[in-house]
Structure 1
């Protein structure tokens, strides 16, 4: 068995950053979605739980987005330029949503609870921007996977919607929103249980089950649409990624089952694993293409010296960042005496 080439090592690092951003940053966006849907007598308590859950760690998750963008720009400049040009509109909207979300969260969290009108305004900005960013990121990913972005066939021009407002792209965009909502709901059940707020945990448990079911339906619809909308992705899945797709479905069932029976820590483990397998199966299905059907991983990679320096720099950075992030989460999130197989009280 041959060793992976340098371009595939770099793209694997980039894909790892994508998975980490989806698993951790996605939960932050999902929390904004549930903040928008907070209703009833527990509304204020839900706002407070979301603030406590996000407060210490939300900005940390942008580290993975930096890894992703810098890695793609440095290692694969031609496809990066093509994607950034053709999908300029949805990617810009996603960026605006990310900026507004972070700003609104800070403004609404620090000192605004006493000023109800300002709190409501910034809460709406926080929630709506949390919907915008995952939707347009998922939509952009579907546009790339669809094989309609042509590279090397004349100058790249910003697309006004014919590539990224298709039924397939809209379905994957909605699925991305539901994935974030499911991640957040499961994370918040753990957070509420750790704080002995069992009523809140039960509320988010039900929301997690509902959003997870909707995500699964959208995933099946996306698979069906990919048969015609993303044929290269479909055939790649059948040829060499079908075990990952089956594993993703089974892991999703495990996540739903453990959440249903209130094994919240196990549910959190399985939803993170499902996110990793979901994105991993997309990446493997698309091999050897980076931007199908014209750009492969090997043909679009930068100079070997650049890739080698990138791998070295990222390796050094991860040696610093991973222990630091672990320590941050350990300080703010880890509770003593909680076991993985412990069933939470209803």
Structure 2
């Protein structure tokens, strides 16, 4: 059982890293499209391009490790999630392919066509919405049939307030995280025009993100009362710390000070909320079908997987930091001098 908790903790770290890195990428695509449509592309598109060019290829690495690790540690997830998530997962893969195609046209084509940019920007919001369906379904109440013939109750899913709340939260969180990072990046680049616009977006998306988070929390009470009770009873302090970090990030941005610290607070805010949600959900991975203490692989395989994935974390995170230091945060590069 100890190996199961260690394994899910490592996988949750991989998923959290993917959420942060991918959110910056996805949100940047939408902001690029919005700026193009509103004739403000000259203000921010060069800044966004300087960030995306070095890092877009490594964005999905964390998600691949999470997906492979989840199936490796908890084989039953392949049967349950693989059956009911075929459609939303296929949509997400198609959208990821569209974004990859855009990068190819952007890097090797003569110019950026608006239709491709529109697909790129919109796909960046639909991908987290599609992937968020997994968290919605994992709360239970949407899977019908027997273990040999599973099916997803699409009517129940579409009519569920909790389902739509999670979708909207995933979209707004992407815009919030991305604008927070890009505000810091614009301030570091000393790009006044981009900074003003991105700072406005960050302040704009903050309050809706908190409001929708509260609605998700309240609607969880109707969807899965056991999870809700565990969250408010045992993990309320993590959500409180998350809100305090949010206030700190907003205040620093309002007074135009410490944008690097503000984005660290954004990461901590999302981290406390994300890990609080994950911890309060245990022991269930998929309510009520898969429990973490019953669906884990044997001890030998669990030890091998834990060792491999910890080494992967120790390799990936320093590599990403090195990539950011060499390119994204290089003084001349960030100021557009090389």
TM-score, scaled to structure 2: 0.91
Query: Match for 1:242 among 233, 236, 246?
Result: 236
What is the distance in 1 between the residues matched to 2:120 and 2:228?
A: 36
Query: Match for 1:266 among 257, 261, 265?
Result: 261
What is the distance in 1 between the residues matched to 2:181 and 2:311?
A: 30
Computed over aligned residues only, the root mean square deviation of the Cα atoms, in angstroms, reads 2.1
Give runs of aligned pairs for residues 235-314 of structure 1, distance below 5 A. 235-262=229-256, 263-314=258-309
Q: Are 1:35 and 1:46, in contact at CA under 8 Å, matched by a contact in 2?
A: yes
What is the distance in 1 between the residues matched to 2:176 and 2:288?
A: 32
What is the distance in 1 between the residues matched to 2:277 and 2:5?
A: 15
Give runs of aligned pairs for residues 88-237 of structure 1, distance below 5 A. 88-113=86-111, 119-149=113-143, 153-163=147-157, 166-237=160-231
1:268 deviation in Å?
0.9
What is the distance in 1 between the residues matched to 2:87 and 2:93?
A: 10
**Structure 2 stretches of 5 or more lacking a match?**
332-338
Q: 1:151 to 1:255 in 2, by over 3 A?
A: farther
Residue 85 of structure 2 corresponds to 87
1:154 deviation in Å?
4.7
Paired residues, number: 330
Residue 27 of structure 2 corresponds to 30
Q: 1:186 to 1:6 in 2, by over 3 A?
A: same
TM-score, scaled to structure 1: 0.89
Which aligned runs of 4 or more in structure 1 are off by greater than 4 angstroms? 150-154
1:291 deviation in Å?
0.9
The superposition leaves residues 216-275 of structure 1 with CA deviations (integer Å, 9 ceiling, x where unpaired) of 111111112111122222112123211111111111111212222222111111111112
SS at match of 2:150: coil
1:46 deviation in Å?
2.0
1:153 deviation in Å?
4.7
What is the distance in 2 between the residues matched to 1:250 and 1:321?
A: 30
**Structure 1 stretches of 5 or more lacking a match?**
337-346
1:315 deviation in Å?
2.4
Q: Are 2:125 and 2:174, in contact at CA under 8 Å, matched by a contact in 1?
A: no
Q: Are 1:290 and 1:296, in contact at CA under 8 Å, matched by a contact in 2?
A: yes
Q: Are 1:146 and 1:233, in contact at CA under 8 Å, matched by a contact in 2?
A: no
1:164 deviation in Å?
5.4
